[in-house]
Amino acid sequence: MGFFMGEVIQYDDGGQVRLGAIKEAGKSLLVVNDQGQEVRVATRGVLFSSGLKVGTSGSAEQVAAALADLDQKLSELEGSGDLREAWEILLAEGEAVGLEGVAEWLLAETEPIHLMATWRVLMRQPAYFKYNKKKALYEARSAAQVEALLKQAEAEAAAKGAHQRFLDIVRALANDPAASPATLEEALADARFRKRFAVLERYALEGDFYDKAGAAGELIDELIGDRSNPALQIGGKGSVRAFEVMVAVGHFSPHENLAQRRAGLDVALDPAFIAAAEALSARLSFIDATSLDQIPNADTREDHLALPVVTIDSPSTKDIDDGLSLRRLEDGTIELGIHIADPAEVIPIDHELEAEARRRGTSVYAPHCTVPMFPKVLSENAMSLVAGVVRPAMSFFVRLGEDLLPVERRVAMTWIKPDHRLSYDEADEMISGAAEHERAEDLKLMYEASKVLLARRVAQGAAIFSIPEAKISVRFDEDGQPDIKVGVMRDTPSRQLVQEMMVLAGETVGLYCMKERLPVLYRTQQAPEDPEHFAALAGKIHPIGQAFQLRRYMKRGELADTPLGHFGLGLEAYVQATSPIRRYSDLMCHRQLRAHLRGEPLPFEPTQVGGIATQLGERAGEASQIEREGKRYWTLVWMQERQGQTVDATVLHYTDDRRRRVWVWIHDNGHFAQVAATSITQEGAQVKLKIDTVHPRRDLLVLKAVEEV
């Protein structure tokens, strides 16, 4: 194929057909195109050489103007012919023809400009003729073939149009949601838009594990390819880009908890559930009662209003589900009372709120939000052990001998009236003697008992890990900016007291249900199979350094319908029953105990319990993931705000024998991180670390050792 100076050609420009004029001919062509650009075109990239000529001696802009005039004439010619009519004629004749033959029937002329216009028509409407490149002939397709190809072309055009509309709407939403032609909610009503949007959303949520990660990446490349849209100037790589797109269109918040999204967990309960909770609350006779004569049929529970019940919680806690009492008996022994709020007295088992609580499985406590299992109008009032008012409780009484070890246990349905609400700090002051209080001596004795009870469990083989828990909370101001508070919850006497009392309650319930053969969900944990790991773990309280290294040898705790024992706690049987407001498995236990104590049929048969255990285990796993990811993310945001500053840390454990990296525990926020060892030489050393690089959404944290202190 020969080319000459000034010849007009159609060429392939990265999948787009473009018009150009040859300025220099050779092994490759120097072409001035219809955009006024000089480009090199390989001869194999030429799709059609017209024989038409425009002048190329002027400026590129002048050449582009001449090409624009030609393009206008070609478009007018294309619109003047009827390709279907030409196809019908040539189909009837039954012979293949060259481009001139088609042009003759389409435009009645075969001049170069008519040939070029005919070629453009055939290129844009390929359904009617099949081109034999070797013979340079066009053969009319059959009517059935044409019909099929036209339908296919229509479908492809619709898909292409839907794809382009998707790109246009997302770009508009990102650029200015208020000015865009449709809100995201309106756009999602279109199934074709929704399908493409879901690809991006799932990629943001699942990352490279998503089976359509490649397709999602291509969509993002197209979206951000338009560099004129500042809202989509997105950097990074992988699923982080998809997340940024979701933020740009207002579908995600900048601080979205992705684990919460993956679980499909809504922060707000359905308004219908809140209304149902308010209706239930209004019918409760004990909601504001201060004595039993205000409550009809109060004799269905034991009267323990005279017991001195105290609750100990963080000041921010609103759903108070446990209280403690101590009674000195005439024989010199004491009776501990662990009193747990009984929401089964509030919610009928066949109520819609019960079904929703079972579906949710647990409350979720993430740094940025709390997602309660029950509406707050109930969980923070009627179900909560509010000081000064009567509340139904499931009480676990444990008589301790002079050695402060259990000698007798009892389970009862009770009415109680907590008389004091204490914070952990207030309780610690009372235990230490720094503050006077009418319940101070009771708390001191409870604390002594908790130490004896802990020592008993350790002697029974418990593996206790002394790892301070990270505490982080996030509140948003009026402008939506986060206020992050971090800290560490250390094992103070009051926290140890409460924790040991809850374990004692769980053991009491476990032993009772095992003895009475009640089908409940036991919390179990098998012992390590490796004898060395067992010996290293069992019967010891491990400080943070050891705990961090050894906890990987612990088997996962599980819910089971049989008492298989709990290695970590050192107990033969253990049932969680102390948080029925927050965990459905605990509420199940309360319902079983209530029915048994009243001599009524059990609400849950043995065959049901195992299946529920699986469901609740999944919900608990999701809740843990939401809380864990939330804590880590917001800790990194907190550290990002302090980038360049230093933090104190303790060296815990080298990651390999070559000691190139080491795990550290950061004192200020309780975060575990890896650091290049460099000057760090000893486990247990106290070091200063510089916060070098932080990217919360990419889960990136780089710390550098500064000095050893």
- In DSSP notation, 492-553 reads -HHHHHHHHHHHHHHHHHHHHHHHHT----EEEBPPPSSHHHHHHHTTEEEPHHHHHHHGGG
- At residue 307, does pLDDT exceed 80? yes
What type of residue is 559?
Answer: L
Burial of 556 (0-12, 13-18, 19+ CB in 10 A): exposed
Q: The domain that contains 647 carries what CATH number? A: 2.40.50.140
Q: What is the pLDDT of residue 705?
A: 87
Do 491 and 607 fall within a single domain? Answer: yes
pLDDT tens, residue by residue, 415-439: 999 999 999 999 999 999 999 999 9
Residue 432 within a domain: yes
**Helix spans in 538-605 (H):** 544-550, 584-598
- What integer is the mean pLDDT of 373-396? 95
CB 387 within 8 A of CB 421: yes
Do residues 557 and 660 both lie within one domain? no
| Domain end marker among 632, 657, 681 | 632
Per the domain annotation, does 136 fall within a domain? no
Nearest to 471 by CA among 670, 689, 203, 266: 670
Distance of CA 132 to the CA centre of its chain: 56
Taken in order 320, 478, 639, 267, is the CA torsion positive or negative? positive
Evaluate whether residue 129 is within a structural domain: no
Tell me the pLDDT tens digit for each residue of 567-576. 999 999 999 9
Q: Two tokens at 374?
A: 């029950």
d(CA 182, CA 334): 70
Contacts of 326 (CB under 8 A, 6+ apart): 308, 334, 335, 336, 337, 442, 445, 446
Residue 5 lies in a domain: no
Q: Would you state the pLDDT for residue 659? A: 67
- Using a CB cutoff of 8 Å and minimum separation of 24, what contacts does 182-185 make? 184/249, 184/250, 184/251
Sign of CA dihedral 453, 454, 455, 459: positive
Is 107 in contact with 81 (CB distance < 8 Å)?
yes
- How far apart CA 559 and CA 620 sit, in angstroms, is 10
Q: What is the pLDDT of residue 182?
A: 64
Dihedral class, residue 297 (left if φ above 0, else alpha if ψ from -120 to 50, else beta): left
Task: Give a yes or no: residue 74 inside a domain.
Answer: no
What is the per-residue pLDDT for 1? 59
Per-residue pLDDT of 390-400, as tens digits, reads 999 999 999 99
Q: Give the predicted TM-score (pTM) of the model.
A: 0.78
Distance CA 449, CA 497 (A): 8
pLDDT at 339 over 90: yes
What pLDDT is stored for residue 236 in this prediction?
Answer: 75
* Single residue among 190, 221, 252 that ends a domain in this structure: 252
Q: What is the mean pLDDT of residues 28-43?
A: 92
Max avg pLDDT among 223-227, 242-246, 422-426, 473-477: 422-426
Taking the chain, what is the end-to-end CA distance rounded to the nearest angstrom?
80
Residue 233: give the domain boundaries.
Answer: 155-252
pLDDT recorded at residue 709: 44
Q: Are residues 627 and 646 in the same domain?
A: no
For residue 237, the model assigns a pLDDT of 80
pLDDT for 270 beyond 90: no
Q: Which residues contact 639 (CB under 8 A, 6 or more apart)?
A: 647, 669, 671, 691, 694, 701
If phi over 0 gives left and psi between -120 and 50 gives alpha, with beta otherwise, what is residue 390? beta
- Count of domains in the chain? 3
Give the whole-number percent of the chain exceeding pLDDT 70: 97
Is residue 457 one of the residues assigned to a domain? yes
DSSP state of 380: I
State which amino acid sits at residue 632.
R
**Residue of 207 and 265 predicted with greater confidence:** 207
Predicted confidence at residue 490, as pLDDT, reads: 87
Together in a domain, 653 and 628: no
CA distances from 405 to 183, 449, 454, 648 (A): 66, 8, 10, 41
Does residue 291 share a domain with residue 232? no
Q: Burial level of 600, CB count in 10 A (0-12/13-18/19+)?
A: exposed
pLDDT at 145: 95
> Phi-psi category of 666—alpha, beta or left, where left has phi over 0 and alpha has psi -120 to 50?
beta
Helix (H, G, I), strand (E, B) or coil at 558: strand
Q: 291 with 440, same domain?
A: yes
- The closest alpha carbon to 356, from 370, 377, 372, belongs to 372
* Separation of alpha carbons 390 and 377, rounded Å: 17
Residue 33, in any domain of the structure: no
What residues pair up with 421 in beta bridges, in sequence order? 311
Say yes or no: 458 and 592 in one domain: yes
Over the chain, what is the mean pLDDT?
91
Average pLDDT on 281-296 reads 93
Please, which pLDDT band fits residue 684 given cuts at 50, 70 and 90?
confident
pLDDT in tens, 69-114: 999 999 999 999 999 999 999 999 989 999 999 999 999 999 999 9
CA distance 683 to 545: 8
Read off the tokens for 410: 């009892």
Residue 175 is encoded by which pair of tokens? 């650029």
Residue 668 lies in a domain: yes
pLDDT for position 698: 87
* Distance of alpha carbon 630 from alpha carbon 256, whole angstroms: 9
Measured CA angle at 349 (ends 345, 354), to 5 deg: 95
604 and 462 share a domain? yes
Sheet holding 686-695, edge to edge: 672-676, 661-666, 646-654, 686-695, 700-708
Note whether 277 and 237 are same-domain residues: no
Do 456 and 567 lie in one domain? The reply is yes
Place of tokens 């200063």: 688
Same domain, 613 and 474: yes
Same domain, 628 and 655: no
